[in-house]
Amino acid sequence: MNLKKLAGSLILVIGVFAFILSIYKNHFNFALIYLTSTLILWVLYGFLLDTFDVRIFAWIISVSGFLVAFSVFIMFGIEEVPYPVGAIVFHSGGFAGSLGIGLFSLFPILILHQMSTEKTEEMIDLGKNIPVEEPDPEVWGKEWEIASEDDLKSGEFEAG
């Protein structure tokens, strides 16, 4: 079981390493190809070995989206200009693109949060439907006893 998880993690690590290396070399298209093919390979591996978990998949999709959003911001949203020395120019297209990708990367996390909230509310609702047994009534003093059904019907008892 641990070997299956280790191999799946290794697929993701190699894919992210290839993505970062391609981004470093300014090959954005190849980086997206590496990342997308890694995710597809990881999902197929999980399905074949029956180790696929939707929660982990949602987290990986979100993290991958944030990674792409950051890369878009760095590659297309910021530009260093030669004059004045050290000046940086922000491009609205790259900035808006990275914000949009980041927003859509939040969706899997929000869906997971909503599912866990609904499950918690469902468990609370189930807890309300459990019948609660009333405790046995206390008898005051040693000379009193609890009336039985026959005593109640006979009418020969003294209420205490």
Which pTM does this prediction carry? 0.69
- Indicate whether 60 belongs to any domain: yes
- Shared domain for 20 and 79, answered yes or no, is no
According to the model, what pLDDT value does residue 134 have? Answer: 65
**With b meaning 16 or more CB within 10 Å and e meaning fewer, what string describes 119-141?**
eeeeeeeeeeeeeeeeeeeeeee
- Indicate whether 61 belongs to any domain: yes
Provide the domain limits for residue 26: 1-52
- Indicate whether 158 belongs to any domain: no
Instruction: Show pLDDT as tens, one digit a residue, over the chain (160 residues).
Output: 688 888 889 999 999 999 999 999 999 999 999 999 999 999 999 999 988 889 999 999 999 999 999 999 999 999 988 888 888 999 999 999 999 999 999 999 999 999 888 777 776 666 666 666 666 666 566 666 777 777 777 777 666 5
Angle at 142 between CA 139 and CA 147, to 5 degrees: 50
**With b meaning 16 or more CB within 10 Å and e meaning fewer, what string describes 7-41?**
ebeebbeebbebbeebbeeeeeeebbebbeebbee
Please give the span between the terminal C-alpha atoms of the chain, in angstroms, as a whole number. 67
The rounded radius of gyration (Å) of the Cα atoms in the chain is 32
- Shared domain for 74 and 34, answered yes or no, is no
According to the model, what pLDDT value does residue 148 have? Answer: 75
- Shared domain for 39 and 72, answered yes or no, is no
* 3-state class (DSSP) for residue 123: helix
90 φ/ψ angles, rounded to the nearest 5 degrees: -95, 130
* 3-state class (DSSP) for residue 56: helix
- Residue partners of 58: CB distance under 8 A and separation at least 6: 108, 109, 111, 112
Q: How far lies 7's CA from each of 4, 19, 64, in Å? A: 5, 18, 19
Q: Where are the beta strands (DSSP E) in the chain?
A: 78-81, 87-90
- Shared domain for 67 and 41, answered yes or no, is no
According to the model, what pLDDT value does residue 153 have? Answer: 76
- Indicate whether 133 belongs to any domain: no
- Shared domain for 91 and 59, answered yes or no, is yes
- Shared domain for 61 and 34, answered yes or no, is no
- Shared domain for 61 and 26, answered yes or no, is no
- Indicate whether 151 belongs to any domain: no
Beta-bridged to residue 78, according to DSSP, are 90
The number of distinct structural domains making up the chain is 2
According to the model, what pLDDT value does residue 130 have? Answer: 63
